[in-house]
Amino acid sequence: MIIEIAIPLYLDNTFHYTVPERLSLQALPGRRAIVPFGRRKLTGYILGTVTECAFDKLKEIIDVLDSEPLWTANELEFFRWTASYYLHPLGEVLRAALPAGINVQSRKGSTGDDAELSGGKPVRTEKFYLPGPVVETSQRTGARALEILAIIRETGEIPASDLRKRFGTCSPQLKRLAELGLAVVQEREVYRDPFKHAAIKRDVPRQLNKHQQSALDAIQACLSQRQYTAFLLYGVTGSGKTEVYLQAISRAIENGTNALVLVPEIALTPQLTGRFQSRFGGGIAILHSGLSDGERYDEWRRIRRGLARIVIGARSAIFAPLENIGIIIIDEEHEASFKQSDGLRYNARDLALVRGGMEQAAVVLGSATPLVTSIHAAQQKRLTMLDLPERVENRPMPTVERVAMKGSKETISAQLAAALTHTVENGQQAIVFLNRRGFATFLVCASCGKTLSCPNCSVTLTYHRQRAQSICHYCDYAVPAPGTCPECGATELTELGAGTEKLESELKELLPRARILRMDSDTTSGKGSHERLLSRMSDGTADILIGTQMIAKGHDFPGVTLVGVINAEAGLGMPDFRAAERTFQLLSQVIGRAGRGDSPGKVFVQAYDTEHYAIFSAAGHDAAGFYQQELEFRQEVGYPPFSFLAVIGISGNLEQAVSAQAEQSAKLLMQIKQRLKLRVEILGPAPAPIYRLRGRFRCQILLKAVTRKELRQLVIAWRQQSRAASTVRMAVDIDPVDLM
């Protein structure tokens, strides 16, 4: 028997091995095998059997690691697709799809017993009771046993310990129920439960308004036909998108299918997961970066074994081993964080459409500010638009005032200051948004005019007053601050630009009695700190929340009636064709935090250029106007959705080698393009906007094509023919999101 194996190395092809007789029953697709590879022994992933192979000197596999397959045939097909689309080795894709805990490779291992699947960790077992095959019986059961049975049926499955907690000793009754076939008992492994501390309050579905209802009906129609449909749930902030997700998931579960929910990592807060738990109780698995390897692995196993009907996670959850998926939800589909920026550079939002297609599922992309490309896809009917144009319960959108800051040196304008004072005095809450952490954006030498910048990265250092350091936000390089000018030794350094730390100190001066919180990556590094800050906003023990983009998204604080935006155009200067789109999205999201409760909201947007269309449309709640203008711009310059992009990144520690390699690659690309007559624009090589990053020099070649097919042809041919110098790294990014 010959099998195909993917090996987690940067090799494009898969490998063939023979299977010795003793392993023939175990060497099945989806399991890991130990194989000889050169002089090493490696863990590979069995893909399937092959009928013929050109080589006749195949090696034998040494062992099979798992007693149960890690993946189904469907999942393997999805991973093959992913590997092929992103031009990434399949073995690497499979390795990335596994939780860290499982990759702890066991080299010795007896053949495939369960200790291996559990990563060598001891697992406790416990008895669970489930409803049995018998529904009704004429036999005598006893009232108490019936009560217990009702609970077993209600929960679907319940650990014996929970039953004891509820009913005291009840083994005679349980024994009787099992005898009669009304209940069955299973010995199961116990999993660490990441929810164990949370108290769950049950809630019930809300009465939907007419827009929510028609969105749900459309999704429901797709669910009952089990036919792939991709929806764009376009609902303004506070329009009740989450309620639509929850009810759509209920329908999917009632249909006997499972649900996969992807959210940006930052939104994966107890507030959101709590809403799912309140609605559905148990049976939810959560995958986020805060889990330990052990917890993550437990969640993975629970999903694999069908013990979770709903999986909620950040981008990597798109690879969750969930079977029989009826619905996939991508919340905040416009978020850049669905794209992985190194290694396997996949986009979970895009892959959701692929996996949904393979599973005949409904895919719901939800956002108040969809991607420009999604709007275009909906216009072309490639996505089915579901509109929620109003806030729930007829709550008005907040009124927004733009404050022109030209000529002003203030961080907080007089208008915003007055409104803040008023809000706090009235016992209401405010959010002040500034997308820059630290105290000053940077320090400038007063005598030679040099700005303090990072020696490893081409960016300025940010001055953090509390830590008394100037810090690089990319590599964490830090020097004591204010300090002296490294260029001329002068001691007088001027602070330029404001960050959240400075904003906090100014607000404290302005409102000494207000309870002010700051939320940015400096204040949220500790475990649970994120949640603590947010819960102080929800329980009303804080008046003002200051923060970076971390506070812009998803949070629902009904007490917030005022929002202030400082330096609204901060993102517009980025050398990125998506700068306007991102600014519009971020501003609309921040503005949308105001007035979500009973009192209407008010927003002040401070900017130097208040007339820029991104700022103007966000402030005027004119999304349609923005998208139209942005699509015109994209068409004019030929960027997505009017073209397809790939970036070839070339980086290394030796500047010469990097630029030589970049030149050579561009030349090769040009030759291939001409030979194959491909309609692909080759832009560059050019230094990346952040030319040095953590000491590495970075160049980019941007490829812009009319069709995906031509783009792929070019990149594949280039990869086959190019050789990277040993000091240089080259990486292909298909559909790049981060162009910095």
Residue 169 binds which one of ligand ADP, Zn ion, none, with CB within 5 to 8 A depending on kind? none
Beta strands in 314-447 (DSSP E): 325-331, 362-367, 384-388, 399-404, 429-433, 440-445
Does residue 242 belong to the site contacting ligand ADP (CB under 6 A)? yes
Residue 212 binds which one of Zn ion, ligand ADP, none, with CB within 5 to 8 A depending on kind? ligand ADP
Residue 208 binds which one of ligand ADP, Zn ion, none, with CB within 5 to 8 A depending on kind? ligand ADP
Subset of 417-456 contacting Zn ion (CB under 5 A): 454, 456
Contacts 24+ apart (CB under 8 A), 717-720: 717/672, 717/676, 718/648, 718/665, 718/668, 718/669, 718/672, 719/12, 719/87
Count of residues interacting with Zn ion (CB under 5 A): 7
Helix (H, G, I), strand (E, B) or coil at 22: helix
Amino acid sitting at position 727: T
Residue 457 binds which one of Zn ion, ligand ADP, none, with CB within 5 to 8 A depending on kind? Zn ion
Contact with ligand ADP (CB under 6 A) among 72, 106, 118, 209 = 209
Q: Are 175 and 145 in contact (CB under 8 A)?
A: no
Helix (H, G, I), strand (E, B) or coil at 730: strand
Subset of 548-567 contacting ligand ADP (CB under 6 A): 556
**Can you tell me the distance from the alpha carbon of 178 to that of 432, in angstroms, rounded to the nearest whole number?**
60
How far apart are CB 690 and Zn ion at their closest, in Å?
Answer: 9
How far apart are CB 271 and ligand ADP at their closest, in Å?
Answer: 10
Contact with ligand ADP (CB under 6 A) among 243, 390, 501, 543 = 243
If the CB atoms of residues 238 and 326 are measured against ligand ADP, the closer one turns out to be 238
If the CB atoms of residues 475 and 731 are measured against Zn ion, the closer one turns out to be 475
How far apart are CB 544 and ligand ADP at their closest, in Å?
Answer: 21
If the CB atoms of residues 64 and 443 are measured against Zn ion, the closer one turns out to be 443
How far apart are CB 211 and ligand ADP at their closest, in Å?
Answer: 9
Of 193, 194, 363, which is closest to residue 289 (Cα–Cα)?
Answer: 194
Contact with Zn ion (CB under 5 A) among 129, 477, 584, 616 = 477
If the CB atoms of residues 239 and 470 are measured against ligand ADP, the closer one turns out to be 239
Does residue 679 belong to the site contacting ligand ADP (CB under 6 A)? no
How far apart are CB 241 and ligand ADP at their closest, in Å?
Answer: 4
Contact with ligand ADP (CB under 6 A) among 89, 91, 194, 235 = 235
**Can you tell me the distance from the alpha carbon of 667 to that of 664, in angstroms, rounded to the nearest whole number?**
5
Q: Are 265 and 317 in contact (CB under 8 A)?
A: no
How far apart are CB 286 and ligand ADP at their closest, in Å?
Answer: 19
Contact with ligand ADP (CB under 6 A) among 32, 241, 339, 704 = 241
Distance from the Cα of residue 456 to its chain's centroid:
28
Q: Are 208 and 241 in contact (CB under 8 A)?
A: no
Contact with ligand ADP (CB under 6 A) among 82, 239, 373, 700 = 239
DSSP 647: E
Residue 454 binds which one of ligand ADP, Zn ion, none, with CB within 5 to 8 A depending on kind? Zn ion
Burial of 227 (0-12, 13-18, 19+ CB in 10 A): exposed
Q: Are 76 and 321 in contact (CB under 8 A)?
A: no
Contact with ligand ADP (CB under 6 A) among 44, 89, 112, 240 = 240
Q: Are 95 and 8 in contact (CB under 8 A)?
A: yes
**Can you tell me the distance from the alpha carbon of 596 to that of 253, in angstroms, rounded to the nearest whole number?**
30
Does residue 569 belong to the site contacting ligand ADP (CB under 6 A)? no
**Can you tell me the distance from the alpha carbon of 34 to that of 44, in angstroms, rounded to the nearest whole number?**
6
How far apart are CB 326 and Zn ion at their closest, in Å?
Answer: 46
**Can you tell me the distance from the alpha carbon of 433 to that of 413, in angstroms, rounded to the nearest whole number?**
13
Residue 477 binds which one of Zn ion, ligand ADP, none, with CB within 5 to 8 A depending on kind? Zn ion
Contact with Zn ion (CB under 5 A) among 37, 85, 167, 474 = 474
Structure tokens at 265: 């990592």
DSSP for 309-337, please give it.
SEEEESGGGGG----SEEEEEEETTT-GG
Residue 700 binds which one of Zn ion, ligand ADP, none, with CB within 5 to 8 A depending on kind? none
**Can you tell me the distance from the alpha carbon of 17 to that of 35, in angstroms, rounded to the nearest whole number?**
8
If the CB atoms of residues 94 and 233 are measured against ligand ADP, the closer one turns out to be 233
If the CB atoms of residues 240 and 564 are measured against ligand ADP, the closer one turns out to be 240
Does residue 356 belong to the site contacting ligand ADP (CB under 6 A)? no
Does residue 332 belong to the site contacting ligand ADP (CB under 6 A)? no
Residue 342 binds which one of Zn ion, ligand ADP, none, with CB within 5 to 8 A depending on kind? none
If the CB atoms of residues 358 and 392 are measured against ligand ADP, the closer one turns out to be 392
DSSP 347: B
The full length of the chain comes to 740
Does residue 589 belong to the site contacting ligand ADP (CB under 6 A)? no
Count of residues interacting with ligand ADP (CB under 6 A): 16
Contact with ligand ADP (CB under 6 A) among 52, 136, 187, 393 = 393
| Residue 362: strand pairing partners | 229, 327
Of 590, 580, 591, 588, which is closest to residue 628 (Cα–Cα)?
Answer: 580
* Contact footprint for ligand ADP (CB under 6 A): 206-209, 212, 235, 237-243, 392-393, 556
Which residues in this chain contact Zn ion in the complex, by CB under 5 A? 454, 456-457, 472, 474-475, 477
